[in-house]
Structure 1
Amino acid sequence: MRSFYHYMMRYRGNQQADEEKQLADWMFEDHDFPKQATTYDEISRYLEWNIPFTNALSVFDRLFEAYQLEED
């Protein structure tokens, strides 16, 4: 199973400046982000302590659900 970080890198470089791109860019630039993580709890905890923008957690929740569907 690939990591959530790897899954999110598909949103980097999007022409459209949306929340998915914003989260992916932030994850790429944050050297402490748990890049090998595959579990909701580990990533969610990290985001709760290091929230990059106001609704980042809701964006994460939505994208993590899509990640799980694709990886299963």
Structure 2
Amino acid sequence: MRKSFYQFLMTQRNPASYDEIAQFANNAFYDQSFPKQEQNYQRLSEYLEENANYLPSMTIFDAAFQKYQEQAQNL
């Protein structure tokens, strides 16, 4: 079964890193409302646009989602 985007994102966490995706993951970890089972780009994008004031740019989400898709294809 394919991982959810949240499960993938948690593999990117690194509190000591200044990498944008790592920072996104660190902040998403504390977001109690994050759709943890979601795999759909559009639904995740809508959630983040409306609720994720910790995400300075949606291009960070786009880059993270691209990595998520690439990882899923390599499994």
Normalised by the length of structure 2, the TM-score is: 0.84
Written as runs of structure 1 = structure 2, the 5 A alignment for 1:28-39 is 28-39=29-40
Deviation at 1:14, TM superposition (A): 4.9
Whole-angstrom CA distance in 2 between matches of 1:3 and 1:16? 23
Letter in 1 for 2:42: D
Whole-angstrom CA distance in 1 between matches of 2:51 and 2:61? 13
Unaligned 5+ segments in structure 2 are none
Unaligned 5+ segments in structure 1 are none
Deviation at 1:13, TM superposition (A): 2.4
Cα RMSD after superposing both structures: 1.3
Whole-angstrom CA distance in 1 between matches of 2:56 and 2:14? 21
**1:17 aligns to 2:24 (yes or no):** no
Task: Identify the structure with the greater helix proportion.
Answer: 1
Aligned length: 71
2:55 to 47, 53, 57: 53
% of aligned pairs identical?
37
